[in-house]
Chains A and B, each alone.
Chain A
Amino acid sequence: EAGVAQSPRYKIIEKRQSVAFWCNPISGHATLYWYQQILGQGPKLLIQFQNNGVVDDSQLPKDRFSAERLKGVDSTLKIQPAKLEDSAVYLCASSLGTTGNLFTDTQYFGPGTRLTVL
């Protein structure tokens, strides 16, 4: 079974530029998550989708970050404009999202996009 796909794997940009990341979840997974992982820290949830609706975006810096999942499958995360502190790995994860039980509804992570803002 194919895992969560993300692209690009690496991106280097200058501050104030824009960048977009793409994620394709595991087939059939209704729930999709975007996490930010800064070096030395654990992943931090930015936004959670259930199908194409937003469930939780309380920690998304909405003045510069946006995300969409228009058809309930793949998703894009955009940063505009980027700041130095946005340097991090952006992880996408997906889960079935149908059991209502975290013990049986495992989140599977993609390989991440490593963003460097200069």
Chain B
Amino acid sequence: RKEVEQDPGPFNVPEGATVAFNCTYSNSASQSFFWYRQDCRKEPKLLMSVYSSGNEDGRFTAQLNRASQYISLLIRDSKLSDSATYLCVVNPIDSSYKLIFGSGTRLLVRP
């Protein structure tokens, strides 16, 4: 079983739509969680951290469910510029900076 699993997609949605991605992780002791965004042929960039209480940043909302070991990302009012691959990232050990990346979910926003 992979440490971090994501639906590869692609999710093909019209502008203005709401779309949600889920990600599951296998290590119940994982401490920190993040969503990174990666544009085609570019480097990953931090989109947002995922806090235990959930957090929102503009059109983006991240949630953590420790009991079920999954993380979600909700994007409201999708823009063409949101088209990218969204990587779910987990830090399995609190004492290090190690990050485990999922394979990513591809989002295509169409006009």
Question: Which residues of chain B in 48-82 are interfacial with respect to chain A, using CB atoms and an 8 Å cutoff?
Answer: 49, 51
A112 to B39, CA, bound (A): 13
- Are A44 and B32 in touch, CB under 8 angstroms? no
- Are A107 and B46 in touch, CB under 8 angstroms? yes
- Are B101 and A102 in touch, CB under 8 angstroms? no
A106 to B91, CA, bound (A): 12
- Are B43 and A95 in touch, CB under 8 angstroms? no
User: Could you say which residues of chain A place their CB within 8 Å of the CB of B89?
Assistant: 42
Please count how many residues in chain A sit with their CB below 8 Å of the partner chain's CB atoms: 23
User: Could you say which residues of chain B place their CB within 8 Å of the CB of A91?
Assistant: 43-44
The contact of B98 among A45, A97, A103, A112, by CB within 8 Å, is A45
- Are A110 and B43 in touch, CB under 8 angstroms? yes
Question: Which residues of chain A in 44-62 are interfacial with respect to chain B, using CB atoms and an 8 Å cutoff?
Answer: 44-45, 48, 55-56
A/B interface sample: 26 pairs, CB < 8 A: A31-B97, A33-B97, A40-B8, A40-B103, A41-B103, A41-B104, A42-B4, A42-B87, A42-B103, A43-B44, A43-B101, A44-B101, A45-B98, A45-B99, A45-B100, A48-B98, A55-B97, A56-B96, A102-B31, A102-B32, A102-B91, A102-B97, A103-B51, A105-B97, A107-B97, A111-B42
- Which residues in B have some Cβ–Cβ distance to A below 8 Å? 4, 8, 31-32, 34, 42-46, 49, 51, 87, 89, 91, 96-104
For the complex of A and B, 6 pairs with smallest distance between CB atoms: A42-B101, A109-B43, A102-B32, A43-B101, A42-B103, A41-B103
- Which residues in A have some Cβ–Cβ distance to B below 8 Å? 31, 33, 40-45, 48, 55-56, 91, 95, 97, 102-103, 105-107, 109-112
